[in-house]
Each structure stands twice: as structure tokens, then as C-alpha cells.
Amino acid sequence: MTTIAAPATILRVYDDSHPGALLHETRDGNEIARLLGEIGVRFERWSADHELSADADQEAVLKAYDTPVGRLQSECGYKSVDVLRVRRGAPNVTAMRAKFLDEHSHSEDEVRFFVEGRGAFYLRVGGKVYQTICARGDLISVPAGTKHWFDMGLDPEFCVIRLFTNAEGWVANFTGDPISKDFPKLDD
């Protein structure tokens, strides 16, 4: 069995025109949920207490979390669910990271439940960038049309359950704005 330590969830808010200007930082889950809720982002802490074997496939991950995921599917009308699991040293990580680091939006909500590891969502809303470092047990739902990017880190190890209303899965509309290059990365 693989055990990945549960890193802390952190929200940092920056001025979007001054990447070095940290406006606010918190590790308090209730405050994170409140601040993200003010911009339409759903943030919750769920139980992620199932230890997954190193070779656990999509079916095993979904079976472990079928009750909360099924409840969310019923509540929000998600039609498809998949698992993205990235292990340390995985091939093609550099290309995958580069794709997610480019600012983009989606025509549907981007919903992720972190089962293992961590990753950072950067949400550009109202002249601010909300860097949300999600960790094991965090559920985040980024509303359709929200400009954002995601950093999995230099040597990622995470597992997320992804929920979609679109049966095609992850479809990005890239903005072409290089803003993501100016903000601190997950490993900074």
C-alpha cells in the first residue's frame, strides 16, 4: 500500500497585476471555503481515508469513493467520472504540466476531489489570483468560464477524481495570456 502524507491546504490571494503582492493567506478550511464561495467556487473537505495500493486502477479508486462521488453526481448532474493518478517519475509529466499551466477555462465546471497528494489551482477572478493548494480530502469545483490554471509540481504524485457534465471529459479553452508564468509555482 502507498501512503502519501496529507499536506496542508493553503489559499493565497494575489493582485493579478502584481504577482509578488500577496494580499492574504490562510490555512483555515472554513475561511478558504468562505473566500472561494464569494467568487462562486465550491470548496469542501471530504474524508479521503481509503489507502490505495500502488497499482490501484481507476475502477479501484472509484469503488473506494463511490458513495460520496455518486451523491455529488446525483446532486449536480455529472454524467462522467474518471481518475487522474500521477506517480513520481511518471513519463510525459513535463508536457502534461505545461498544458495545465497555461491559463484556460471550460464550458462546464471543473470538479476535482483529491484522493492523494496535492496540486494548486490558480483562479483569476475580479482582479485577483486565488492560489488554492488542494490536498488529500479537498473537493474543489471551479465554475464554467472561470479563467484558471493548475500546477501539479515538478515531481508530482497525486490522485484526483474528476467529474464532468460533458461526456468528452476535459476540454480546455486556452486564453493565450501568459499570466501563469508570473505567479509562484506549487514548489516555490
The reported pLDDT for the residue numbered 14 is: 98
The reported pLDDT for the residue numbered 170 is: 73
The reported pLDDT for the residue numbered 172 is: 87
- The answer to whether the Cα torsion of 9, 14, 20, 23 is positive or negative is negative
Please give the share of the chain, as a percent, with pLDDT higher than 70.
Answer: 95
Please give the share of the chain, as a percent, with pLDDT higher than 90.
Answer: 85
The reported pLDDT for the residue numbered 3 is: 39
Pairwise CA distance, residues 81 & 79, whole Å? 7
The reported pLDDT for the residue numbered 7 is: 62
Percent helix, strand and coil across the chain, each rounded to 5? 20, 40, 40
Pairwise CA distance, residues 91 & 86, whole Å? 9
Which residues of the chain have a pLDDT value below 50? 1-6
Cα-flanking dihedrals φ and ψ of residue 86, to 5°?
A: -120, 125
What are the structural domains, with CATH classification, of the chain? 10-50+68-175 (2.60.120.10)
